[in-house]
């Protein structure tokens, strides 16, 4: 009588990322595809109590483990001196999570949440896959790229060793906008009707990301009367904390064009479908979501940081799908001069839409999920590190 075949535990994937939608959105999109490709997969997300992952990750049906945050202070001082101790505690907590869930692979999306998880995985010899969403890589992923050859990027020219351009994992609600069988005209009418916009006038979508953008908001508020007078409708996503009592709907009595301010949009894919042109920051998610949607863009890169937003926009701008507008030039006067000539030129908008779609990678989430499962299958299973010390732990 033959021996019974021992049961094989499901693949255990730990996903590290948080703090902002730029990290959590691709994490959730990839988790969706991991479940499609490996229905029995065991998924565990790691974040901190500071980030929006405490809301978005559980809402996506993912178990969430919290570790202490270890932000890197921008200036020397007591907080900088405390970093080594905080990091040791966070790495220890991350290692405990990896042992408890018997991790076969760590998939990290950068940010300060990921660093302790990367270090814990290296200590326990759990294979690492990293995804860098920005054209200019962050500190955590620059560090992790020294530990692994499995490096995926959103943009083709991201300077990381072993970089493989897979694109940015996006939610299926966004990638559905690239479906060649989609009736775009019908969806446009439907989404405009939902917001009370007309279908016979151009619509400008304005968004500064989940937190909003002060310079963009100020410029649009100053230009709205002139835009409405030209028959240009405006859907203005101010950011939840930026809405005041003064932000009310305005309808031009002559043209009937409406300005509608909202704090946020639950389901940006519908806003993309309704719009003819978007005025926005150029975070990686915004750049590549609008590319998938085929939505021409005026990008206003955030002027603070290491310049990653300006470089994120390069791929779309280079092919003619968008234009760059420096933050200092984003004024009411400039928008009044620039937007009408662009948004009313249907032929030019159509060419820009075709160009920006050429940059999109629609199946990035599936490609990253497949890579992660391949690495898990070929690496040392985390379940082997659940007892005792290994050489890497000494």
pLDDT at 233 over 50: yes
Write out the E strands in 158-202. 163-165
What is the distance between the alpha carbons of residues 61 and 364, in angstroms, rounded to a whole number?
21
Domain 12-170+363-393 is found in CATH 3.40.50.620: no
Q: Which residues are annotated as a binding site?
A: 20-22, 134, 171, 210, 309
pLDDT for 339 equals 98
Are 223 and 336 in contact, with CB atoms under 8 Å apart?
Answer: yes
With a CB cutoff of 8 Å and minimum separation 6, the contacts of 241 are 211, 212, 263
Q: What percent of the chain has pLDDT over 90?
A: 72
Looking at residues 89-104, what average pLDDT do you find? 96
Q: Which residues are annotated as a binding site for UDP-N-acetyl-alpha-D-glucosamine?
A: 20-22, 134, 171, 210, 309
R_g (Cα) of the chain, nearest Å:
23
pLDDT at 249 over 70: yes
Residues β-bridged to residue 277: 204
Could you tell me which of 12, 46, 43 has the C-alpha nearest to residue 30? Answer: 43
Could you tell me which of 293, 392, 311 has the C-alpha nearest to residue 349? Answer: 293
Residue span(s) of the chain under CATH 3.40.50.2000 come to 12-170+363-393, 172-357
- Residue appearing with tokens 């080594």: 84
Reported confidence tier of residue 98, pLDDT bands at 50, 70, 90:
very high
Looking at residues 290-305, what average pLDDT do you find? 94
Least confident segment among 100-104, 125-129, 386-390: 386-390
Q: Which CATH architecture has domain 172-357?
A: 3-Layer(aba) Sandwich (3.40)
What is the distance between the alpha carbons of residues 380 and 394, in angstroms, rounded to a whole number?
18
What's the predicted TM-score (pTM) here?
Answer: 0.87
Tens-digit pLDDT profile for residues 123-155: 999 999 999 999 999 889 999 999 999 999 999
Could you tell me which of 142, 153, 93 has the C-alpha nearest to residue 117? Answer: 93
Reported confidence tier of residue 305, pLDDT bands at 50, 70, 90:
confident
pLDDT at 301 over 90: yes
pLDDT at 244 over 60: yes
pLDDT for 79 equals 58
pLDDT at 380 over 60: no
How does DSSP assign 235-297, residue by residue?
Answer: EEE--GGG--TT---EE-TTT--EEEEES--S-HHHHHHH-SEEEE---HHHHHHHHHHT--E
132 SS3 class: strand
pLDDT for 333 equals 97
pLDDT for 71 equals 66
Q: Over the chain, what is the mean pLDDT?
A: 89
What is the distance between the alpha carbons of residues 53 and 23, in angstroms, rounded to a whole number?
9
Reported confidence tier of residue 389, pLDDT bands at 50, 70, 90:
very low
Could you tell me which of 107, 156, 260 has the C-alpha nearest to residue 198? Answer: 260
Q: Token pair of 326, please?
A: 């420096």
């Amino acid at each position: 009588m033959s021996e019974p075949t021992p049961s094989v535990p499901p693949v255990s994937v730990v996903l590290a990322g948080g703090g902002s939608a730029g990290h959590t959105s691709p994490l959730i999109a990839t988790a969706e595809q991991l479940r499609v490709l490996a229905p029995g997969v065991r998924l565990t997300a790691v974040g901190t109590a500071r980030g929006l992952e405490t809301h978005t990750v559980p809402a996506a049906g993912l178990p969430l483990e919290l570790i202490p945050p270890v932000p890197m202070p921008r200036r020397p001082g007591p907080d900088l001196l405390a970093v080594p101790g905080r990091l040791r505690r966070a790495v220890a907590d991350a290692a405990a999570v990896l042992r408890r869930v018997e991790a076969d692979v760590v998939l990290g999306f950068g940010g300060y949440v990921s660093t302790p998880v990367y270090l814990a995985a290296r200590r326990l010899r759990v294979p690492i896959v990293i995804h860098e969403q920005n054209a200019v890589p962050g500190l955590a992923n620059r560090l992790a790229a020294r530990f692994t050859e499995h490096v995926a990027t959103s943009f083709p020219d991201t300077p990381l060793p072993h970089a493989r351009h897979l694109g940015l994992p996006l939610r299926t609600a966004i990638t559905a906008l690239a479906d060649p069988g989609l009736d775009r005209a019908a969806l446009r009418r439907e989404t405009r009707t939902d917001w009370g916009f007309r279908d016979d006038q151009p619509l400008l979508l304005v968004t500064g990301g989940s937190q909003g953008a002060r310079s963009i908001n100020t410029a649009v508020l100053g230009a709205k009367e002139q835009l409405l007078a030209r028959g240009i409708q405006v859907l203005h996503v101010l950011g939840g904390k930026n809405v005041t009592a003064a932000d009310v709907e305005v309808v031009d009595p002559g043209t009937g064009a409406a300005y509608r301010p909202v704090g946020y949009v639950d389901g940006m894919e519908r806003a993309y479908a309704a719009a003819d042109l978007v005025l926005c920051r150029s975070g990686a998610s915004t750049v590549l979501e609008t590319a998938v949607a085929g939505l021409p863009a005026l990008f206003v890169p955030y002027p603070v940081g290491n310049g990653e937003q300006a470089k994120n926009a390069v791929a779309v701008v280079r092919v003619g799908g968008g234009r760059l507008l420096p933050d200092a030039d984003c004024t009411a006067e400039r928008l009044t001069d620039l937007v009408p000539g662009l948004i009313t030129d249907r032929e030019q908008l159509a060419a820009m839409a075709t160009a920006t779609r050429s940059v999109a990678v629609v199946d990035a989430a599936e490609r990253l999920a497949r890579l992660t499962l391949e690495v898990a299958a070929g690496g040392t299973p985390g379940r082997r590190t659940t007892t005792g010390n290994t050489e890497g732990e000494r």
